[in-house]
Amino acid sequence: MVSRKLSLELPTLFSPQILTRRLRQKFQAPMFETSQADPKKVASIILGGGAGTRLFPLTSKRAKPAVPIGGCYRLIDVPMSNCINSGIKKIFILTQFNSFSLNRHLARTYNFGNGVNFGDGFVEVLAATQTPGEAGKKWFQGTADAVRQFMWVFEDAKTKDVQHVLILSGDHLYRADYMDFVQKHIDSNADITVSCLPMDDGRASDYGLMKIDGTGRIIQFAEKPKGSNLNAMQVDTSILGLSAQDARRYPYIASMGVYVFKTDVLLKLLTRSYPSCNDFGSEIIPSAVKEHNVQAYLFNDYWEDIGTIKSFFDANLALTEQPPKFEFYDPKTPFYTSPRFLPPTKVDKCKIVDAIISHGCFLRECSVRHSIVGVRSRLESGVELEDTMMMGADYYQTESEIASLLAEGKVPIGVGQNTKIMNCIIDKNAKIGKDVFISNSDAVQEAERPEEGFYIRSGITVVLKNATIKDGTII
């Protein structure tokens, strides 16, 4: 909620009652009765994202929301868990690119049988598909077009009581109670509410920026402005309740790409008002600001857009810090993921500092510092892992399989003896041999070596899924 600090010098003739009355008149809410937000009347639409080119090569064989994070989760678990913890159980997920592993994860985790039980709710995966007519032959052209192509589903019988539609992204990391957001939307009688956060100079041009009036109504919206257009979007963010010092550090109000619409307004905007506009952030919202009550909702907590290799890497390693800015564990609002039924991790004479070790790992006489070790990982003796995000494996190899592979001079899944790895992302099922050295000591920023099993993105080495890095390799 937006808070204001008031500093008032008052003549002594003002009684507390008069002061209270005057303050109420100054900041009085609009004169209409607001209802309590009911999660049963809210449906959420989680956007599966585009091709994920900025997260390549992690998205070469999977959709962005299916990218593993934090050792045992996937990005889709963030909005899904937030919805469940907010009581929202009518959930649609729109997918288009590489959706196999995403669909498999959703089926294992959020179905009605042995996953999270939804009662009268549902999780529907809506994959891009061809329909009759000329428009039906096209893939999703953008976020708004994806929702428009499935408009007939949202008008269906089981969504007939839905009064508000929440639009979420599948590649953000944050914890939120969406019903606080919906309540603000109802209280301000908004047609659309945009969740926003204060932003600094360095990253402002990566986001949709807005200007608001004294009531929180958005009066101007610019998608990823640059140069003079960026400077023109600076505002006094103390109106959001920031201190004068913070307001100077964060002179912009940025959109999180999280919206709530009145259902009828969403239908009208997509089908009648702007039938050719394909994107919410760059087209629908800026156009709607002129004619509709579009409100800003301040989210002043940890939030990270996991849109690039660097932001993905930094957000993962930040989980290992003490105290972390964000953690998946919270007793009241847990984050859900696929139940894998793995044994506890076995650690034998290891040195582990500021690290997260997931389920079912085998660590032998190794050193792990400021790193994440994903499910089913195997680290042999003498291994040193530092500033590394290791995603783990999808399956185990038996001791006899590992022994026969080593006897044949082949590399089993995991990290072999005396290998040193720094500043690296290791994708699933990677086979890294012994005496390997990965550090990018030449500080190369970008490189493509898919035939050798790795890429370098923003100075971070990314070992590909299922790749083999032979014994003695130096990167």
pLDDT tens, 205-215? 888 899 988 88
For residue 42, give Cα distances in angstroms to 230, 238, 335, 340.
34, 31, 20, 31
pLDDT for position 103:
87
Q: Residue 378, Cβ neighbours under 10 Å: how many?
A: 21
Distant-in-sequence contacts of 406-411, Cβ < 8 A, 24+ apart = 411/468, 411/469, 411/470, 411/471
pLDDT for position 20:
38
Q: Alpha-carbon torsion 208, 213, 218, 219, what sign? A: negative
Q: Which residue matches tokens 């007793």? A: 331
- Mark residue 79 as left, alpha or beta (left: phi above 0; alpha: psi -120 to 50; beta: remaining): alpha
pLDDT for position 147:
75
pLDDT for position 117:
54
pLDDT for position 148:
73
Residue 67 has pLDDT above 90, yes or no: yes
pLDDT digits (tens, 9 = 90+) for 161-219: 889 999 999 889 999 999 999 999 999 999 999 999 999 988 898 888 999 888 889 99
For residue 285, give Cα distances in angstroms to 125, 166, 446.
25, 14, 35
pLDDT for position 206:
87
Exposed/middle/buried for residue 219 (C-beta within 10 Å: 0-12, 13-18, 19+): exposed
Pick the residue with more confidence: 276 or 292? 292
pLDDT for position 274:
65
Q: Which residue matches tokens 């303050």? A: 23
Q: How many helices (H) and strands (E) does the chain have?
A: 12, 29
Residue 334 has pLDDT above 80, yes or no: yes
Torsion of CA 213, 218, 220, 226, to 10 degrees: 100
- Range list of β-strands (E), 83-227: 90-95, 122-127, 164-169, 172-174, 192-199, 208-212, 218-223
CA-CA distance, 190 to 186, in Å (whole number)? 6
Residue 98 has pLDDT above 70, yes or no: yes
- Eight-state DSSP code of residue 454: E
Residue 119 has pLDDT above 50, yes or no: yes
pLDDT for position 189:
93
pLDDT for position 221:
85
Query: Is the Cβ–Cβ distance between 130 and 95 less than 8 Å?
Result: no
Q: Which stretch of DSSP H or E encloses residue 460?
A: strand 460-463
The amino acid sitting at 378 is R
* Phi and psi torsions of 406, nearest 5°: -65, -40
Would you call 15 helix, strand, or coil by DSSP?
Answer: coil
pLDDT for position 28:
41
pLDDT for position 271:
82
- Eight-state DSSP code of residue 391: -
CA-CA distance, 140 to 145, in Å (whole number)? 6
- Alpha-helical runs (H) found in 269-343: 285-291, 309-318
Q: Which two tokens stand for residue 16?
A: 């507390």
Mean pLDDT of the chain: 85
Residue 14 has pLDDT above 60, yes or no: no
pLDDT digits (tens, 9 = 90+) for 129-147: 666 666 555 666 766 777 7
Q: Residue 174, Cβ neighbours under 10 Å: how many?
A: 18
Query: Is the Cβ–Cβ distance between 154 and 165 less than 8 Å?
Result: yes
Closest CA to 26 of 35, 15, 14, 18: 18
Distant-in-sequence contacts of 145-149, Cβ < 8 A, 24+ apart = 145/278, 145/279, 146/47, 146/94, 146/96, 147/45, 147/94, 147/266, 147/270, 148/270, 148/271, 148/275
Tell me the mean pLDDT in the region 299-314: 92
Q: Which two tokens stand for residue 383?
A: 């291994």
Query: Is the Cβ–Cβ distance between 41 and 47 less than 8 Å?
Result: no
Question: Which of the residue ranges 24-38, 194-208, 411-425, 441-455 would you say has the lowest mean pLDDT?
Answer: 24-38
Helix-strand-coil percent breakdown of the chain, rounded to 5?
25, 25, 45
Q: Say what percent of the chain tops pLDDT 90.
A: 55
Q: How confident is the model at residue 18 (pLDDT cuts 50, 70, 90)?
A: very low
DSSP string covering 311-325 = HHHHHHHHTTSSS-S
Q: Which two tokens stand for residue 290?
A: 């002129």
